[in-house]
Amino acid sequence: MGSEEAEAAKLKGLEKYFNSVTNTGRANVAKATYAVLGLVIAYNVLKPKKKSVDNLHTSQSTNHT
Protein backbone atom coordinates (compact mmCIF):
# COMPACT_ATOMS: atom_id res chain seq x y z
CA MET A 1 0.00 0.00 0.00
CA GLY A 2 2.54 2.56 -1.09
CA SER A 3 -0.13 4.94 -2.31
CA GLU A 4 -1.35 5.36 1.27
CA GLU A 5 2.03 6.68 2.34
CA ALA A 6 2.26 9.01 -0.66
CA GLU A 7 -1.22 10.36 0.02
CA ALA A 8 -0.38 10.93 3.71
CA ALA A 9 2.69 12.96 2.76
CA LYS A 10 0.45 15.51 0.96
CA LEU A 11 -1.71 16.18 4.03
CA LYS A 12 -1.08 19.22 6.24
CA GLY A 13 -2.45 20.53 9.52
CA LEU A 14 -5.25 18.59 11.19
CA GLU A 15 -5.79 16.63 7.98
CA LYS A 16 -2.49 14.92 8.69
CA TYR A 17 -3.83 13.43 11.94
CA PHE A 18 -7.56 13.09 11.25
CA ASN A 19 -8.15 11.65 7.80
CA SER A 20 -9.88 8.71 6.17
CA VAL A 21 -6.96 7.78 3.92
CA THR A 22 -4.56 6.19 6.39
CA ASN A 23 -5.20 3.65 9.11
CA THR A 24 -3.54 5.96 11.62
CA GLY A 25 -5.90 8.78 10.66
CA ARG A 26 -8.93 6.52 11.03
CA ALA A 27 -7.71 5.36 14.43
CA ASN A 28 -7.24 8.97 15.55
CA VAL A 29 -10.80 9.83 14.50
CA ALA A 30 -12.12 6.85 16.47
CA LYS A 31 -10.07 7.81 19.53
CA ALA A 32 -11.33 11.40 19.39
CA THR A 33 -14.92 10.16 19.09
CA TYR A 34 -14.57 7.91 22.13
CA ALA A 35 -12.90 10.72 24.08
CA VAL A 36 -15.77 13.14 23.37
CA LEU A 37 -18.37 10.52 24.29
CA GLY A 38 -16.50 9.79 27.52
CA LEU A 39 -16.37 13.48 28.42
CA VAL A 40 -20.11 13.91 27.79
CA ILE A 41 -20.93 10.89 29.96
CA ALA A 42 -18.54 12.03 32.72
CA TYR A 43 -20.08 15.53 32.70
CA ASN A 44 -23.60 14.15 33.01
CA VAL A 45 -22.63 11.82 35.85
CA LEU A 46 -20.58 14.35 37.83
CA LYS A 47 -22.66 17.53 37.45
CA PRO A 48 -24.49 18.72 40.57
CA LYS A 49 -28.05 17.53 40.95
CA LYS A 50 -30.81 20.13 40.77
CA LYS A 51 -33.15 20.51 43.72
CA SER A 52 -36.77 19.88 42.85
CA VAL A 53 -39.42 22.52 43.46
CA ASP A 54 -41.15 20.37 46.10
CA ASN A 55 -37.95 20.06 48.11
CA LEU A 56 -37.45 23.82 48.04
CA HIS A 57 -40.96 24.52 49.35
CA THR A 58 -40.73 22.01 52.20
CA SER A 59 -37.31 23.24 53.28
CA GLN A 60 -38.47 26.87 53.29
CA SER A 61 -41.59 26.12 55.34
CA THR A 62 -39.56 24.28 58.02
CA ASN A 63 -37.10 27.18 58.26
CA HIS A 64 -39.82 29.75 59.05
CA THR A 65 -41.09 28.10 62.27
Q: For residue range 38-51, what is the model confidence (pLDDT) as tens digits?
A: 999 999 999 988 87
- The band of 15, judged by pLDDT with boundaries at 50, 70 and 90, is confident
48: left (phi over 0), alpha (psi -120 to 50) or beta: beta
Report the share of the chain in percent with pLDDT over 90: 37
- The band of 25, judged by pLDDT with boundaries at 50, 70 and 90, is very high
Phi/psi at 3 (5° precision): -65, -30
Q: How many domains does the chain have?
A: 1
2 sits in which H/E element: helix 2-10
The domain of 49 spans 2-63
* CA 34 – CA 32 distance, rounded (Å): 5
Whether the full predicted model's pTM is greater than 0.85, yes or no, is no
Instruction: Provide the pLDDT for residue 30.
Output: 96
Separation in Å, CA 20 to CA 54, 57, 59, 60: 52, 56, 56, 58
